[in-house]
Amino acid sequence: MADKLATYRSKRSASRTPEPVPAPGPLPGGHDDTFVIQEHHARRLHWDFRLERQGVLVSWALPKGLPDDPKKNHLAVRTEDHPLDYAGFEGEIPQGEYGGGQVEIWDRGTYECETWTDREVKCVLHGERAHGRYVLIRTDGDNWLIHLMEPARGSGDTASAKAEPATAEREPVPELIRPMLATLGELPAPSEDPDFGYEMKWDGLRAVAYVADGEVRLVSRNDKDVTVAYPELRGFGAALGGVPAVFDGEIVACDPAGQISFAALQPRMHVRDRAQIGRLSEQTPVTYQIFDLLHLDGHDTVGLRYEQRRELLESLGLHGPHWDTPGYTRGGGPAALAASREQRLEGIVAKRLDSVYEPGRRSKAWVKVKHTRTQEVVIGGWAPGQGRRAGTIGALLLGIPGPEGLEYVGQVGTGFNRETLDDLYRRLRSLERRTPPFAHPLPTRDAKDAHWVTPKLVGEVEFGEWTRDGRLRQPSWRGLRPDKSPDEVVRES
């Protein structure tokens, strides 16, 4: 078996340090229930957190000590395993030796292990100063985060080691993290079902929320700042109590019946006049549905597994008047899909529990399963209306980017109300051009009397199926997608 203390011994000499330096040989037995936290005045003050495990003390260095607030996580750097005798060590390590400086026992006691893997250690501490339920989560290499999940009942606030700010280990809130995208598919096979977490699929506007100094900034999927359009979400930043963070989620609105509705959100997506925004925020308020955590308290979390990110996210308790953290289920995909249908939602998203967050990528680790088929499309022109629609739009001519350019996929003439038609007419008139933007000629019937436009506007349709020649069968208009650019549109299978 590998010598667990080889690294420890290689850094120390028994003749030069008062630390215990055992000779190579069998490790002593124990009960795997001892913990110790030592205050270490080395080159930089820190606290060494050690848990007894299989004959050694598995160790982490905590630059800021134990966290005392579930909303604030601290950095934990994995160090070499230490001998069990180190649990009782106090003294002065000579300057010039590894870790030179004063070592004092800050707290010592017993612990209960709930989970121990290469990426996660969950335990309950029973000490005089340290008590409560903690989890250590590996982020990258030897870097971990330590998170207070639950203080011990009746113990008051969990004590923490207070240190000078360790700014070198902290990172500012990123300027931009592009959202990870899901692929369209079916429910995972029954044998794979336990490996997935299932969330409701929200029918709204995808937005990444950046929170710093109590202020929130909302950025859409196509990198546009949409903060001003949703003033009711300003209080979300204050709800974090000053903790910097980045979240992924969906902005949704409800119709008069209280049902989440993409159509209800449409008027909110295009307005920039502050007075009108204020009126709309009272008439049709929005809610930010938070489903992922990308950065927390100076540390990126995109490298954590999905189940770890969700655990951290839910520990923040973000439930407010205009923001919420909906739950998810581990396994049980068919039941989750049935529940989404009962709630008249679009479907569900199945996410692998062990998947990391892949910014800006469409990943097979996330699978969206829909009840109805929808497709993002690019508007390439419009046909004039007749009868009651005379003088306005009769149908939109739609395309999807392909290898040779914009490929024609048909036209949509249903799903509009008069207000929508007027808005589209105004937008499309400003984009008119003389030549069609499509890669190949359209059928004569569809091209007759058409008005061509520069393909800049993205919309979404609901449809029955794809025809053999690649057209949308029975499409119905759902609305514009100002959060998406034409080059992001792909054909859904």
- Catalytic residues, by residue number, are 201
Q: Are 449 and 384 in contact (CB under 8 A)?
A: yes
Q: Are 437 and 447 in contact (CB under 8 A)?
A: no
- What's the Cα-to-Cα distance from 188 to each of 331, 342, 351, rounded to whole Å? 10, 20, 10
In the chain, the largest separation of any two C-alpha atoms, in whole Å, equals 99
DSSP string, 424-466: HHHHHHTTEESS--BSSPPPHHHHTT-EEE-S--EEEEEESEE
Q: How far apart are CA 349 and CA 201, in angstroms?
A: 6
Tell me the pairing of strands 181-184 and 362-370.
parallel
DSSP string, 132-190: EEEEEEEEETTEEEEEEEEEPTTS-SPP-------GGG--PPPS--PPPEEEE--PPPT
Residues in the chain: 493
Q: Are 222 and 233 in contact (CB under 8 A)?
A: no
Residues 6+ apart with CB under 8 A from 269: 205, 229, 479, 480, 482, 483
Instruction: Specify the amino acid at residue 457.
Output: L
Q: Are 157 and 151 in contact (CB under 8 A)?
A: yes
